Amino acid sequence: MAAVIQAQGLGKRYGRRWALTDCTLDIPAGRVVGLVGPNGAGKTTLLHLTVGLLAPTSGSVRVLGGRPAANPAQLAKVGFVAQDSPTYAGLRVADHLKLGARLNPGWDAALARGRIGRLGLDPVRKAGKLSGGQRAQLALTLGIAKRPELLILDEPVAALDPLARREFLQGLMEAAAEHELSVMLSSHLVSDLERACDYLIVLVDSRVRVAGAVEGLLATHHRLTGARRDPTRLPADQHVVAASHTDRQTILLIRTVGPVHDPAWAVHDVGLEQLVLAYMRHPETTALGRPTLAAVPPDATEVSL
Amino acid sequence: MIEFHLDDRSGLSPYLQLVRQVRQALRLGPLDEGDQLPTVKEVVAGLAINPNTVLKAYRELEHEGLVAARPGVGTFVTATLADAALVAHGPLRQDLRRWLARARRAGLDEESIEALFMTTFRTAAEEGIAWPPSSRPRGWAKGTGGAGR
């Protein structure tokens, strides 16, 4: 399948600080990609590089085969909803749609009107008078009605209450299903994205810690518990992501493509949230001499899809 | 038409939860041959889940011969599971109640009963003795917490 985002050694430096370092990604089309990481990890930088609001300091990124924001055709293919669902407070809802129609060659006016109607947004109401959830839905409507091939959203649900959050994700998933849209959205909470995403990127301290199809990630990560032992003496194909010990017990979170045969371990599945937290909490696991940065191999990321 | 729901704490993947809800509806009656399943868009808009999750569940059901997709129209039920097995539920439930009463008399609390049942269930399924091959639940090992791998 064609790649929607391909990054090669992508990096961005502000002054002496690298906001994104050596980022390599190959994301297939038709995915809903969750970009997760703590605040300040570099999520917005990666998204801005992808839409072309920033130019890379090093490396390169191709989006739907082209250079970000290279020309009008490229701009039309990628939709972007920036942080805090940007709308014009002084403009009415209908003005936003008019603006969308003027600025976007592929504008789907019927879709926009239909969505605003179903949401019950009053066209003459000013955006500044809308609730946070309604403003987010207006911004999402603009993003969808542009009819992009890839829609990128920066922390779209961070400021929303649980109900508005749910309704927003319902609308987004509906659009993804209806228009075969590829989606990439960021959040510092994986629980927001757990149902919606089928591809996950974990970004910590400006580096991609892990990236891959959710199903593959869940199938290749396990929690092992057993009597205390040295985690560096595991088989070569088992990479330790996180380790904790008591005087008697060892608990490991490992990544491996093969099955775990050692009967001394009790093997448990890992949920997406545990997996992400393990990568966030242990950015130093590479110090054990075991690489944990590599993305899961492609054959493992596509299990049974 | 049925409506899906998801339990985040069930430990089952969302895709497997959808598959099971259809099978259950086929077994217990709400779904019958010829009935239409909700469209992918409807499910996705209702549950805020990934469209590929629904597609995968429907493909699995298609693979099992329970539903068929009619392009541009929707997905329809082509078989039913509400068969003789349903008749057996009554006596089996009675046996189970008797067994539960015995377990309690033997001093087992709820947690011990559940643990005993689940470990026996798992071991039996792994050894392949509890199920004739045709009725063994698909994808069972994948979704049950992964003990004993």
Cβ-defined contact of B52 to A196 (cutoff 8 Å): no
Structure tokens at A195: 């149902």
Q: Looking at residue B11, what is its pLDDT?
A: 74
CATH 1.10.10.10 residue spans of chain B: 14-77
Res. A128: pLDDT tops 50:
yes
Q: Looking at residue B85, what is its pLDDT?
A: 65
The gap between the terminal CA atoms of chain B, to the nearest Å, is 38
Backbone angle region of B148, left / alpha / beta, with phi > 0 → left and psi within -120 to 50 → alpha: left
**CA B137, CA B149: separation in Å to the nearest integer?**
17
**CA A29, CA A6: separation in Å to the nearest integer?**
11
How many domains in chain A?
2
Mean pLDDT for the stretch of residues B96-104: 94
Mean pLDDT for the stretch of residues A237-250: 88
Q: What fold is seen in the domain B14-77?
A: Arc Repressor Mutant, subunit A (1.10.10)
> Residues A121, A226: one domain?
no
Cβ-defined contact of B44 to A259 (cutoff 8 Å): no
- Percent of chain B at pLDDT above 70? 81
Confidence of residue B86 (pLDDT cuts 50, 70, 90): low
In DSSP terms, which residues pair with A201 in a beta bridge? A35, A211
Preferred mutation among B6, B7, B16, B44 to probe A, highest tally of A CBs within 10 A: B44
> Residues A174, A296: one domain?
no
Mean pLDDT for the stretch of residues B72-87: 80
> Residues A235, A94: one domain?
no
A26-83 pLDDT, tens digit each: 999 999 999 999 989 999 999 999 999 999 999 999 999 999 999 999 999 999 999 9
H helix intervals, B5-139: 14-28, 40-47, 51-63, 84-105, 110-127
> Residues A116, A253: one domain?
no
Identity of the residue in A195, A218, A269 whose CB atom sits nearest the CB atom of B49: A195
> Residues A156, A277: one domain?
no
What burial class does residue B98 get, using C-beta atoms within 10 Å of its C-beta: 0-12 exposed, 13-18 middle, 19+ buried?
Answer: exposed
* CATH number of residue A72's parent domain: 3.40.50.300
Cβ atoms of B32 and B77 closer than 8 Å:
yes
The CA distance from B57 to the nearest CA of chain A, in Å, is 10
Res. A1: pLDDT tops 60:
no
**CA A100, CA A54: separation in Å to the nearest integer?**
23
Confidence of residue A188 (pLDDT cuts 50, 70, 90): confident
Mark which of A205, A239, A271 sits at the end of a domain. A205
> Residues A162, A223: one domain?
no
Domain that holds residue A193: 3-205
Of all helices (H) and strands (E), which one includes residue A21?
strand A17-28
Average pLDDT of chain A is: 89
Cβ-defined contact of B50 to A198 (cutoff 8 Å): yes
Mean pLDDT for the stretch of residues A169-194: 91
In DSSP terms, which residues pair with A18 in a beta bridge? A13
Confidence of residue A289 (pLDDT cuts 50, 70, 90): very low
Q: What is the DSSP letter of A127?
A: G
**CA B57, CA A303: separation in Å to the nearest integer?**
14
Confidence of residue A301 (pLDDT cuts 50, 70, 90): very low
For B59, the closest chain A residue by CA position comes to A305
> Residues A82, A197: one domain?
yes
A247-256 pLDDT, tens digit each: 889 999 999 9
Mark which of A173, A205, A237 sits at the end of a domain. A205
Identity of the residue in A171, A178, A197 whose CB atom sits nearest the CB atom of B50: A197
Res. B82: pLDDT tops 60:
yes
> Residues A259, A187: one domain?
no
Structure tokens at A199: 């591809």
**CA B104, CA B102: separation in Å to the nearest integer?**
5
- The CA–CA distances, whole Å, from A133 to A129, A158, A208, A268, B100 equal 12, 11, 31, 38, 50
Mark which of A156, A174, A205 sits at the end of a domain. A205
Cβ-defined contact of B50 to A32 (cutoff 8 Å): yes
> ipTM of this model?
0.77
> Residues A57, A77: one domain?
yes
> Residues A238, A164: one domain?
no
Residues of B in contact with A268 (CB under 8 A): 145-147
Structure tokens at B76: 């329809």
Of all helices (H) and strands (E), which one includes residue A145?
helix A132-145
Res. B122: pLDDT tops 80:
no
A110-127 pLDDT, tens digit each: 999 999 999 999 999 999
Mean pLDDT for the stretch of residues A133-152: 96
Q: Looking at residue B147, what is its pLDDT?
A: 40
For A215, the closest chain B residue by CA position comes to B13
Res. B1: pLDDT tops 90:
no
Identity of the residue in B50, B56, B146 whose CB atom sits nearest the CB atom of A195: B50
B11-52 pLDDT, tens digit each: 788 899 999 999 989 888 788 889 999 999 999 999 999 999
